[in-house]
Amino acid sequence: MAILEILLIALGLSMDAFAVALASGATMKRLHLPNALKMALFFGGFQALMPVVGWAAGLSMKDFISGWDHWIAFGLLLAVGGKMIYEAFKIKEEEECGGPKTCPFDTGTLTVLAIATSIDALAVGLTFSLLQLSIIGPVLVIGVVTFLMSVAGVKIGSAGGHFFEHKMEAAGGFILIAIGLKILLGHLGLFGV
């Protein structure tokens, strides 16, 4: 898999974290850098960890699914991308930090948010194992890209930028679907890989 594809996957996966970071940043009256870095560390760390878990699970199942691994990879990326597109357009209730609701920068809340935004990465890790790719490079790229996108999301959100939140999440979904389609067509001999 080319570095460009890995970067696109990392960007696609980071869009959930970016959208949550953007909304979380909007709960701040002014940017508080330690909160932004804490959120970015949680999101980047979980986005790097989950593909490793998916990759390890995929290696253990490789013999059972090797005949149709390209269809599974396509299906997983289609499902993850479709979920991201659906979530982008679903109406979401905003929370206000400091009010009666939970602050998104609390450690417990951050852990739940990090797990929720990185479940997609688990499926991508499974896809990497089906394609017999090394996991080290991709997880480093995914973790760093998610970290940077999360910091940017908190900063933009704290500056009042909610405009791109849903569009970015949908764009990430479309990127993952396109990569899944490329994998499928490449395996079927309809598109050069």
In a domain, 95, yes or no: no
In angstroms, the CA 80 to CA 121 distance is 9
Does residue 193 surpass a pLDDT of 50? no
Contact (CB, 8 A) for 147 and 41: yes
Q: State pLDDT tens for residues 16-73.
A: 788 878 877 776 777 788 888 999 999 999 999 999 998 998 888 766 766 676 677 6
In a domain, 7, yes or no: yes
Shortest CA distance to 116 belongs to which of 25, 40, 20?
20
Q: Is 0.75 topped by the overall pTM? A: no
In angstroms, the CA 131 to CA 178 distance is 16
In a domain, 97, yes or no: no
Distance in Å from the first CA to the final CA of the chain: 8
How many domains in the chain? 1
Q: Which domain holds residue 128?
A: 3-89+103-187
